[in-house]
Amino acid sequence: MRCYGNATPHYGNATPHYGNATPHYGNVARCYDIAAPHYGNAAPRYGNAAPRYGNAAPRYGHTNGLVILCFSLFTLFSFFQMANIYFLPGGDDERNTWLDNFAAKLPLYGAKYGISAADMQAVQNGHAWWAAILTYQSQFMSYGNTITAFKAALRNGLEAGATLSPLTVPSPTLPDTKPQPGIFALVSSLANTIKNSPDYSVADGNDLGIEGTPQAKPDPSTLVPDLSVVRGSGGHPELKWHKQNMPMLDICVDRSQGKGWEKLDTSDQNRYTDTHELPPAGSAAVWRYKAIYKHKGAQVGQWCEPVPVSVMGGV
């Protein structure tokens, strides 16, 4: 064995050392200073990086990569936090009331928050169309009830002294501007722009109606479906409800035939048409419906109160 200073070189399968480094020949490893490169399936490391040749994976700047990953996740989390639009009501009529205020107040803040003239006009157009179409929808729903009453009068006749009301199709009163699809996506985007501005104030947000608070999740054990039932197409009952973030609804019916409550169906939608055969022509019956939410195969919450609807036999 020969030694030079503190080093001890070895030949063949031995291990020479120069200073603090330990190179190896053959199948063993050579190390220079702190680095230990490996060939084949082994891994050389330079600084904090550890690239590998063969079947292994290279890693460069391990610490810096971790910092970048954490920052990216934080940014993504912040984005979704901002994207939660807690200030928008859920119902159409409630959103219409909210949009009345936002469209009226936005021009007061357009210059301060850099809202373009095109976006300001788009909000006004979208607001006008939303209000008009809700009004027209309400008129048409009333017209549907008129048709049902007219049909019943044709089939069953009228009470003494009653007259048959004429059918008058409602005419819509619509804006002259081009329809603006996606109005609530637009106002949500503008709200985020405003709230991200360095000039934003909570007072402005309250005035515009965009300073909402996170809504606490309801207790599932207290959820009750807001079930409503009307006579729909062909006189069949049409059931509607809000899903309240529940995936499914169990529906039961009592057809007043002495059988009590029977399972009707399970629906993953927010409406359901009961296509069961109607009573015989010239007769009527009262059917009652009740429902409860369902999640992962189990019923959740409380049954709603029974909702009755009158059904009549076909002609």
Q: What is the pLDDT of residues 60-116, one digit of tens each?
A: 444 455 544 444 443 333 333 333 447 888 889 999 999 999 999 999 999 999 999
Residue percentage of the chain with pLDDT more than 90: 48
Provide the token pair at 108: 């007061």
pLDDT score of 54 more than 60: no
Per-residue pLDDT at 314: 64
Rounded Cα gap, residues 194 and 171, in angstroms: 39
Query: What CATH fold (topology level) applies to the domain 220-312?
Result: Immunoglobulin-like (2.60.40)
| Contact indicator for 300, 294 with CB cutoff of 8 Å | yes
Q: What is the pLDDT of residues 215-252, one digit of tens each?
A: 667 788 999 999 999 998 888 999 999 999 899 999 99
- Kindly report the pTM of this predicted structure: 0.45
CA distance 226 to 223: 9
- The average pLDDT across 211-218 equals 71
In the prediction, which pLDDT does 167 show? 87
How far is residue 236's CA from residue 231's CA, in Å, rounded to a whole number? Answer: 5
